Structure 1
Amino acid sequence: MKTSPHTALLLALAATAGHAQDLTYPVVDTMQDTCFDLVGEDIDCPIEGEALFGQDAQYSGLPASYSDNGDGTVLDNNTGLVWQQTPQDDRLQYLDGIAYCGTLELGGRSDWRVPSIKELYSLADNRGELLTPEEGEPTPYIDTSVFDFEYPKGQMAFAGQYWSSTLYVKGPVQNGRNQAAFGFNFADGHIKAYGTGLDFYTGAAATGGLTGENGQTPGNYVRCVSGEENLYGVNAFVDNGDGTVTDNASGLMWQQSDDNIRREWAEALAYCEALELADHDDWTLPNSKELQSIVDYDRTGFPAIDEAYLAITDDSETLDFWTSTTFGDWKNYANVITFGRALSKAGDQTEYTDWHGAGAQRSSIKTIIGQEMTDDTTCSINACDYNRSDNLVRCVR
């Protein structure tokens, strides 16, 4: 079996005095530790050469490592960020969340702030799953051995959204003029853009209901962070001149361009495992955190990627790229990162709109062979995501 590129990275890090801190953007592992088949059943992990080899659980990356500081804060030993251990228990509008963290004093610190979406996503633990009561106890997408988390009381269990400070700069979301900021849902394992309560074009307070022309959301929770701003999550790309790009911030090497072929999940895994590029044959399909690490959230146009270094060949509206990470709630789905418009529709909408925002993490059905996509599998209580089984692929090593 070929050496895991993730293991190679860990060995390289261990050989240095600073370990992960030598990288300004150490990509923390998703921690997914189980392999799954196309219909969502747990399986023994395949061996090299077998179908479905190369999924997330088969490559161990930089493991999550936290220290409870005993003062209401938690240190992430990989990123150097310090986190609020117990979040506020009320939903806040975006600006109220910014103000809350800005005035927080905790653990002898007063430099708290709302995290960026890349900082927030670093906490995601993909061993989570949102189960119904008859199925068992749900597991949140965060390490509850060090972080406090409660499912919302008196609301749907999946309503565990947390704000990031990262505004969606490419346009309004949903079906009106809504300004949005990204957030991560620690209850159901998704990134999406949530309405801030402000008008995208004017910055004035929006009016109307959740699905109105200027809809507001009920607000999100906040978990504040302390640490140097504008450091973690910033890429340092280098064009290697051989069809690959290295991010010196994360230590990951990327296939510079996709090959303009859409594949179902099994074929995506096999494609990366078989890829030979720039004298390397240890390419893999990236996990969710690896792929999200190259999203350009500051770019005002589409796609949400730094086109000075990385190319996307497809010019369609939907630019979902596969990850090797199975989606915890529906295990016949795998996570995708959306570099184009993250389409959904709700209510009386007949056309899909950019509901979740480019840079969202959603999920797609692994295959339509022997399965049927229905409203039960593509819709939540709020909206119906655009879903296809064939997505684009960019490999990593």
Structure 2
Amino acid sequence: MIKSKASKLTLIALSVVTALCNINTAVASIGGKQVSPSYAIVDTNQSQCFGTTDQEKCPSATEAMFGQDAQYQGNQPSYIKHDNGTVSDQVTGLMWSQTTDINGDGKINAQDKLTFEEAVNYIKNLTLAGYSDWRLPTIKELYSLTLFDGQDPSGIKLNTGKSQLIPFIDHEIFGVNTGDTKSGERLIDSQFVTSTKYVSTTMHGDDTVFGVNFIDGRIKGYGTSMPDGSVKTFYVLAVRDNPDYGKNDFVKADNGTIVDQATSLVWQQNDSATTMNFTDALGYCESLSVSGNNNWRLPNVKELQSIVDYTRSPDTSASAAIDPLFNSTSITNEGGKKDYANYWSSTTHVNLKDGENATYVSFGRATGFMNGQWLDVHGAGSQRSDPKVGDASQYPQGKGPQGDSIRINNMVRCVSGGGVTFNASPEYQARTAMTIENMSTESTSDMPMNKSPLTMMDTNGDGKISFSEARGPLKEDFKRLDKNKDGFLTKDEIPSKPKHD
């Protein structure tokens, strides 16, 4: 059971009568002086509570797992879709291009994707709705569009043909699509590029740019070039207005807190100093008291990502990816290196089956087990997810195509303020699902478990895979995997977990 604070219990009791009550004020205070925010963080739009696996009634303050994302509501998403191909975000003040149909053929598919350099040049020369001051969004700007009432299809084999899926973006406002399975992409190959480059490198020294995947609901660093010499391509959205969005303005208070004057969020200066599972993380923040402030909560994932400093990393600044005003506890990672932790958020990462996982943000290397070693596969500042509870030793080589490390016990940094309100019984209103067309017989993240890549791709039955036969991860890694350089992949050259960005 969670030990709750008396003041919060009083507010919760009042919420039974009022249905909604304020726990935090819209402005922060430093030395008695109120600070007005310069930009607002859009709420995650998550309005359902979950247990360790399934959707459940939201718990009360005396029950375990109290304090989930759905129970704290912030600035609700609000857009205006104009007739000139643009969208105005009423919360952030950002204006967006409306569609990713770059070539204007009325379809959104692989033909609309651009390399990082092509995206930079495309937007540099873009004139839309009479405006020519468009820019490639930063990772914080693009992530503002992410909605966590989406459903991640990763690792789930879908039937071919048409089906329904709720993406992690408002698809009724923005023209987006899944990966182009007709051209050999996976369903989840819906990566959107940003202007934010990783200050270090991923994998084996790959130059990397951050992107958001609006189909699987993650931030990852993507290598800009592929091992076979090809170049990674992305969907693209352009943005303009409010150039200060995402720029923090931290002030260290005298009471063990850090105030972000840009957002009015008040942060715990010290982290939890020890790792814990998701259930315990919720309880830790709900029972925290710092210098008389006991209105703490576990931050939702968009609040947490807002304090990442993408100019820092363990390799380049020997620190966590956060302003040095914060105290960050170092860890030893899976590869034996000094590193910094993943930090829990209160946001469940829902997939098509359950709500077993919760999201975290990597303030250190986003490690994965690839080709027999632990690497930084996605970069400090990535957002991924872990099982809420369980035994991390059950995942000795991580999970998924990049062998993402599964820790389950992550660090915690609590938050208060930001104009967030508590809602004891949030009302769930499902967004309209997007009709998708899946032409692939493969799992959305890897090959089917009962068939080997050789069986799936050897179309002429000669016992090996040519470059023209290879698809997905094997095609991207073909040059490196072809150890004898004979132009074919044989059984002993095909890894159990091929690399895929």
Deviation at 1:196, TM superposition (A): 2.1
Aligned counterpart, 1:142: 169
Contact 2:328 2:340 in 1 (8 A): no
- Pairing partner for 1:328 from 338, 341, 350: 350
Which secondary structure does the structure 2 equivalent of 1:384 belong to?
Answer: coil
Aligned counterpart, 2:203: 174
- Alpha-carbon deviations, 1:76-128, whole Å to 9, x = none? 01111100111134221111111111111111111111100000000000011
Aligned counterpart, 2:369: 345
Equivalent residue letter for 2:413: R
Aligned counterpart, 2:409: 390
Aligned counterpart, 1:163: 193
TM-score relative to the length of structure 2: 0.69
Deviation at 1:138, TM superposition (A): 1.5
Aligned counterpart, 1:226: 240
Aligned counterpart, 1:295: 308
- Pairing partner for 1:313 from 319, 324, 329: 329
Shift in CA distance, 222/3, structure 1 to aligned 2, threshold 3 Å: farther
Larger relative contact order (C-alpha < 8 A, sep ≥ 6)?
A: 2
- Alpha-carbon deviations, 1:16-62, whole Å to 9, x = none? xxxxxx63231110011111111x20100001121000011110111
Contact 2:392 2:406 in 1 (8 A): no
Larger radius of gyration, structure 1 or 2?
2
Equivalent residue letter for 1:120: L
Aligned counterpart, 2:336: none
Deviation at 1:284, TM superposition (A): 0.3
Contact 2:49 2:57 in 1 (8 A): yes
Deviation at 1:147, TM superposition (A): 1.2
Deviation at 1:218, TM superposition (A): 2.8
Deviation at 1:11, TM superposition (A): 6.4
- Alpha-carbon deviations, 1:208-250, whole Å to 9, x = none? 32xxxxx765311111111243x10011111111111110100
Which secondary structure does the structure 2 equivalent of 1:166 belong to?
Answer: strand
CA distance in 2, matches of 1:168, 1:7: 40
Aligned counterpart, 1:116: 138
Which secondary structure does the structure 2 equivalent of 1:270 belong to?
Answer: helix
Deviation at 1:344, TM superposition (A): 1.1
- Count of aligned positions: 364
Aligned counterpart, 1:126: 148
Unpaired stretches in structure 1, ≥5 consecutive residues: 14-21, 198-206, 210-214
- Aligned-CA RMSD value: 2.4
Matched, 1:278 2:291: yes
Equivalent residue letter for 1:337: V
Equivalent residue letter for 1:258: D
Residue range with higher mean Cα deviation, 216-225 or 120-129? 216-225
Which secondary structure does the structure 2 equivalent of 1:101 belong to?
Answer: helix
CA distance in 2, matches of 1:63, 1:146: 15
Unpaired stretches in structure 2, ≥5 consecutive residues: 1-8, 13-19, 28-35, 103-107, 333-338, 417-501
Matched, 1:30 2:58: no
Identity of paired residues, percent? 38
Shift in CA distance, 167/372, structure 1 to aligned 2, threshold 3 Å: same
Equivalent residue letter for 2:355: K
Shift in CA distance, 42/239, structure 1 to aligned 2, threshold 3 Å: same
CA distance in 2, matches of 1:7, 1:133: 42
CA distance in 2, matches of 1:271, 1:10: 18
Equivalent residue letter for 2:75: L
Which secondary structure does the structure 1 equivalent of 2:133 belong to?
Answer: coil
Equivalent residue letter for 2:39: Y
Contact 2:180 2:189 in 1 (8 A): no
CA distance in 2, matches of 1:137, 1:77: 28
CA distance in 1, matches of 2:414, 2:266: 9
CA distance in 1, matches of 2:296, 2:361: 18
Aligned counterpart, 1:365: 387
Aligned counterpart, 2:455: none
